[in-house]
């Protein structure tokens, strides 16, 4: 489905219509021929699909009417941005699936009550990465003074992008789950955290990692990212 913004004609489009895909990057709007993605049905894809299916059943059969109402209130109170950068609101069902499918994939406990704080978790403006070819290791530095780091059940998790040529300055996938760090009450985790990359890389390649913060009440931040040129 394509999103279309009208003004004096069509101002902006995002998505696919017939054989054309419309999108926007840092250089502006563009259109390209639509390509049909392959479905390798990898173990990671299977895990995501299984988690979403499990949470769909939980929404209808496990949650109480009061809990569903609480998630709906949260969804109606929290503004998000769509692909055109416009403000929108997700349903409570969307937020419940969005939050709990993450927990289901990584062995967490279902968060059934809807959040009572009507805002997304803060992002980390200090987030930075370094990468060493010799060690084949990515270091993710974060602010362990933020609230999530001092909260049991909260965590920050990271996704690594496929390495690119050093001169490339824009990247939007593919991504693979890199790892996560959990918050601990009165004993925040140490920073930086070190991870073995999911995509091997070489000196001089441009690397991206994005992160999200998950709070114990089920709220998930918007993604925030960092990039670096790999060293020896």
Of residues 35 and 227, the one with the higher pLDDT is 227
* Distance between CA atoms of residues 32 and 176, nearest Å: 25
Low-confidence winner among 26-30, 53-57, 86-90, 190-194 (lowest mean pLDDT): 26-30
Mean pLDDT of the 2-22 span = 65
Written in H, E and C, the secondary structure of 85-102 is CCEECCCHHHHHHHHHHH
pLDDT value of position 24: 65
Mean pLDDT of the 193-213 span = 97
pLDDT in tens, 33-47: 676 666 666 777 787
> Beta-strand (E) ranges in 118-174?
128-132, 137-141, 155-161
pLDDT value of position 177: 92
Mean pLDDT of the 53-74 span = 94
Q: In degrees, to the nearest 5, what angle opens at C-alpha 97 toward C-alphas 91 and 99?
A: 105
Q: Is 56 exposed, middle or buried (0-12, 13-18, 19+ CB in 10 A)?
A: middle
pLDDT in tens, 137-184: 999 999 999 999 999 999 999 999 999 999 999 898 899 999 999 999
In CATH terms, 128-229 corresponds, of 2.60.40, 1.10.287, 3.40.80, 2.40.128, to 2.60.40
Sequence spans of domains, the chain: 3-33, 43-105, 128-229
| pTM, two decimal places | 0.82
Is 68's pLDDT higher than 60?
A: yes
Is 134's pLDDT higher than 90?
A: yes
As a whole number, the mean pLDDT across the chain is: 88
Is 115's pLDDT higher than 90?
A: yes
The percent of residues above 70 in pLDDT, for the chain, comes to 84
Q: Could you tell me the two tokens for 200?
A: 């091997």
């Amino acid at each position: 489905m394509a999103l279309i913004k009208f003004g004096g004609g069509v101002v902006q489009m995002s998505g696919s219509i017939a054989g054309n895909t419309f999108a926007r990057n840092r250089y502006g709007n563009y259109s390209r021929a639509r390509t049909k993605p392959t479905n390798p049905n990898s173990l990671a894809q299977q895990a995501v699909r299984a988690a979403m299916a499990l949470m769909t059943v939980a929404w209808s059969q496990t949650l109480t009417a009061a809990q569903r109402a609480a998630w709906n209130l949260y969804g109606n109170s929290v503004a998000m941005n769509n692909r055109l950068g416009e403000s929108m609101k997700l349903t409570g069902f969307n937020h419940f699936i969005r939050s709990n499918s993450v927990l289901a994939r990584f062995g967490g406990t279902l968060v059934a009550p809807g959040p009572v704080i009507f805002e997304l978790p803060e992002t980390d403006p200090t987030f930075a990465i370094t990468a060493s070819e010799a060690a084949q290791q990515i270091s993710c530095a974060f602010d362990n003074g933020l609230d999530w780091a001092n909260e049991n059940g909260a965590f920050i998790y990271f996704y690594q992008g496929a390495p690119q040529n050093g001169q490339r300055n824009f990247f939007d996938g593919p991504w693979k789950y890199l790892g996560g760090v959990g918050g601990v009450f009165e004993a925040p985790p140490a920073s930086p955290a070190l991870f073995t990359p999911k995509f091997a890389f070489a000196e001089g390649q441009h690397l991206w990692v994005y992160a999200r913060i998950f709070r114990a009440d089920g709220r998930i931040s918007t993604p925030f990212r960092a990039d670096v040129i790999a060293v020896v």
